[in-house]
Amino acid sequence: MASSRERERFDEDLHIRPLRDGKVASTFSFTTLLQDASPRDPLSLAYDDESQHYTLFPLALGQILRTYAITELHLALNAGKWRYESWGFPEEPGVGTGAELWAWMGDGASTTIDERWQGLRNALAGLFCASLGSMDDQRTTSPFLTFTPEGSLPNATLPYRLRHATLPSEHVCTENLTPFLKLLPCKSLSGLARLLNPHRLFDADWHGMSVHVTWREGQGVEVRLIFQTVIDPIRNSGGKRRDWSFESLFGRVVENRCPVATTSRVRIQLPSEETYAILPDPTSNADNIATYDTSVGQDPLDVSMRWPEEYAFQYQITALDLPEIPLTPLTLQRTLIGSSQAQGQLSIVIQNTLSSQIQTIYLETMPWLVQLYIHTLQIHCNGVQRNDLISNLSYTPSVPHARPAILQSVLTLPPKSTLRLTFDITKSFLRYTEHPPDAQRGWDLPPAVFVPIISVGNRSDVLPRLYTPTLLVDLATPDFSMPYNVIILSCTLMTLIFGSIFNLLTRKFVIVDLKQGKEQKGS
C-alpha cells in the first residue's frame, strides 16, 4: 500500500454530561484516521517494513504497531472506582481500575504471539511511562468471548489471537499524561487538548485515559485517544452549588483552535427536567444536546452551566421503598468473605433491575495466588438455590507461579431478581522473594467483567461491558527479618556442634619430653 495515497484526518470532540449526584462527566475524544491504510500483515514480519510517513498520525504509536503487526489495540489507565449506579454507562467501556491492555494479533508470523505481546507491552511501557512490562504470563489471559474485536480483522484466512492483561495496582499521574498529549497533532497547546490540565484532572473523583487502535474496513486505521473524568464541582464550590464552567472544572478555557482538526466540537448533555442556564449560546441544539463548534467564533470558549433556581444541591436520599431509577440493567457487587489468611469465599451479587430476563457473560480472571474451587460454586436467586442459572462454563485453572485462572460463563438472570454466586477460595502462601516491597498492603485482584445481553424477540442487544471494582486480598506475610536471624543462629549451632565433635574425634593430647629435645639440639 503506497503511503503517498494515504490521507489523514483528525477530529476532536468533548462530551460533557452532568450526572445526577451533582458531578460532571467529561469525555475528551481525539480521533486520527489514517485513510486507506491497513495493519501490517504478520507474515511480513520476517522482512523489513516499508517506510511509513505520517503527518497527523502519531509516529511513536505507529512504529510500535508496525513492529509487532498489531491489528487492534486497547490500553486503558484508570484511577478510581466507576459508580455505575450514580453515573450510568461511561462513554468508553474500559473503566477497570489500574492498567488494562488487550490486543488482537494475527498468528502465523515468524515470531510467536507471546513474543510480540512481550515486545508490545514493553514498548508501550516505555512510551507511556507505565510499568506495563510487569504484565507477564502471570497476568495474561485470552478471554476472546468477552473482549471481541471492536473493528474488523483484515485477513480472514489468518487465525487471530487475543492477549489481555490487567495491572490493578497501577498509578496514573502526569507522567502518563505527558506522552498521551505528545501523540496529538496539536499537543496541549491549542484545541480541546488545552483543557487537559493535570492539576485538575488528577484531582477528579475518577479519571482514565485510553488509547484505542482499530481497523475499520473501507476507512482505514483509526487511533482514538480518550480521556474521561468525573469531576465534582460541589466539592470546590463554597456554597455547595453544582454550577460548573470550563474554568471551574479544568482551570483553563479553549483559547485557540487546532488548525489541523477537521471537526472540533463540544457537546453538552442538557438536563431534561430542571431549570438551567447555559452560556454562551450553542451553535446548535438538538435532542437535548447543545453543540459548540469551536471553528466558529474567535473568542476563547468557556462554556458554563448554572442552576439559578437552586440554592444548594440536594443529594437524593433514597427511601428503601422508592429507589432511584437504575441507570444500568445490572447492579454488581463483588466481595471476599472470610477473615482467615488461608481460605475464604468469593461472593458476587448481581441484581437485575429490568422486568425482563437478561443473560450476561461473566468473566473472572483470578491470579494464581487465589485458587478458585469451581465445585463449590453455588448460586442463590432471591434466596433459593438455582444452580441451573449458569451455563456455557469455560474454566482454565491456574498454574501456580505461571498462569492465572480464567472463568467465562453465561448467567441467566430472571426479571427483578438478585443472584448471589459464591465460590470457595484458598489463599497461597508465597515464597519469601515473591512478596512486593509493601507486602502488608496485600495484592490487588483484577475486576470481573460482565457483558449483559438483552434479547427482545429474535434480536439480541449486546450492551457495553461492566467492570466490578478491584479487590484487595491479604495474604500471609512472613517476618522478613527472620531469614537473617535463622541463618546466623543455625550456622552458629552447626559450627559449635561440628567443631566439638571433630575435636573429640581427631584431637589427640600427646606429652612431649623437653629434655630429649635439648640433648638433640646440643649435639
Partner 1 sequence: MLFPTYLSFLCLTSWILTTVATNASQDGKVREFFGRHDGTSGHTNNWAVLVCASRYWFNYRHMANALGMYRTVKRLGIPDSNIILMLADDVACNTRNKFPGSVYANSGRNLDLYGDNIEVDYRGYEVTVENFIRVLTGRMDASVPRSKRLLTDDRSNIFVYMTGHGGNEFLKFQDNEEISAFDIADAFEQMWQKKRYNEIFFMIDTCQANTMYSQFYSPNILATGSSEIGENSYSYENDNDIGVAVIDSYTHYILQFMEGINKTSQTTMHDLFASYDPSKIHSHPGVRADLFHRTLDKALITDFFGGVSQAEIFPPEDAYPGMQSPSVKPGDTMIDSRIPSTNGSQLSSPTTQGRMFTTLEMDSSWPISLRKWGSMTLVGMLVAWVSLKS
Smallest separation, CB 177 to partner 1 (Å): 8
Which C-beta is closer to partner 1: that of 277 or that of 486?
A: 486
Residue of 5, 199, 459, 507 interacting with partner 1 (CB under 8 A): 199
Q: Is 118 in the site for partner 1 (CB under 8 A)?
A: yes
Which three three-digit cell numbers place residue 323? 429507589
Return all residues near 216 (Cβ < 8 A) that are at least 6 apart. 33, 151, 152, 222
Identify the residue whose cell numbers are 504509536.
61
Residue of 88, 108, 119, 464 interacting with partner 1 (CB under 8 A): 119
Return all residues near 16 (Cβ < 8 A) that are at least 6 apart. 24, 25, 26, 27, 266, 267, 268, 269, 303
Task: Point out which span in 13-21, 123-131, 463-471, 482-490 binds partner 1 (CB under 8 A).
Answer: 123-131
Indicate the DSSP class of residue 102: E
Smallest separation, CB 173 to partner 1 (Å): 4
Q: Is 125 in the site for partner 1 (CB under 8 A)?
A: yes
Smallest separation, CB 168 to partner 1 (Å): 13
Which C-beta is closer to partner 1: that of 203 or that of 255?
A: 203
Neighbours of 257 (CB within 10 A): 21
Which C-beta is closer to partner 1: that of 126 or that of 271?
A: 126
In this structure, are residues 454 and 463 in contact, taking their beta carbons and an 8 Å threshold? yes
Which C-beta is closer to partner 1: that of 308 or that of 437?
A: 437
Which C-beta is closer to partner 1: that of 26 or that of 146?
A: 26
Return all residues near 278 (Cβ < 8 A) that are at least 6 apart. 268, 270, 290, 303, 304, 305, 306
Return all residues near 43 (Cβ < 8 A) that are at least 6 apart. 108, 109, 158
Which C-beta is closer to partner 1: that of 123 or that of 348?
A: 123
Residue of 14, 33, 113, 123 interacting with partner 1 (CB under 8 A): 123
Task: Point out which span in 122-130, 302-310, 329-337, 397-405 binds partner 1 (CB under 8 A).
Answer: 122-130
- First-to-last alpha carbon distance for the chain, in angstroms, is 107
Q: Show contacts with partner 1 in window 57-116 (CB under 8 A).
A: 79
Indicate the DSSP class of residue 2: -
Task: Kindly write down the DSSP assignment for every residue of 372-385, as one continuous string.
Answer: EEEEEEEEEETTEE
Q: Show contacts with partner 1 in window 215-274 (CB under 8 A).
A: none
Which three three-digit cell numbers place residue 128? 507511556
Which C-beta is closer to partner 1: that of 67 or that of 422?
A: 67
Task: Point out which span in 118-126, 389-397, 442-450, 466-474 binds partner 1 (CB under 8 A).
Answer: 118-126
Kindly report the three-state secondary structure assignment for every residue of 93-122: CCCCCEEEEEEEEECCCCCCHHHHHHHHHH
Q: Show contacts with partner 1 in window 127-146 (CB under 8 A).
A: 127, 129-131, 133-134
Which C-beta is closer to partner 1: that of 181 or that of 451?
A: 181
At 433, is the secondary structure helix, strand, or coil? Answer: helix
Which C-beta is closer to partner 1: that of 318 or that of 481?
A: 481
Return d(Cα 64, Cα 59) in angstroms, integer: 9
Pairing mode, if any, of strands 390-396 and 405-413?
antiparallel
Residue 54 is inside which H or E element, if any?
A: none
CA distances to 3, 18, 72, 128, 150 from 173, in Å = 36, 25, 25, 11, 28
Which C-beta is closer to partner 1: that of 34 or that of 473?
A: 473
Indicate the DSSP class of residue 258: -
Q: Is 464 in the site for partner 1 (CB under 8 A)?
A: no
Q: Is 201 in the site for partner 1 (CB under 8 A)?
A: yes
Which three three-digit cell numbers place residue 27? 469525555
Q: Is 175 in the site for partner 1 (CB under 8 A)?
A: yes
User: C-alpha angle with apex 76: 72 to 82, nearest 5 degrees?
Assistant: 130
Which C-beta is closer to partner 1: that of 67 or that of 152?
A: 67
Smallest separation, CB 110 to partner 1 (Å): 16
Q: Give the binding-site size for partner 1 (rule: CB under 8 A).
A: 33
Residue of 86, 142, 155, 178 interacting with partner 1 (CB under 8 A): 178
Mark residues 421-440: x for contact with partner 1 by CB under 8 A, - for none.
---------------xxx--
Q: Which residues pair with 160 in a beta bridge?
A: 106
Smallest separation, CB 477 to partner 1 (Å): 12
Q: Would you tell me which residues interact with partner 1 (CB under 8 A)?
A: 79, 118-119, 122-123, 125-127, 129-131, 133-134, 170-175, 178-179, 188, 197-203, 436-438, 480
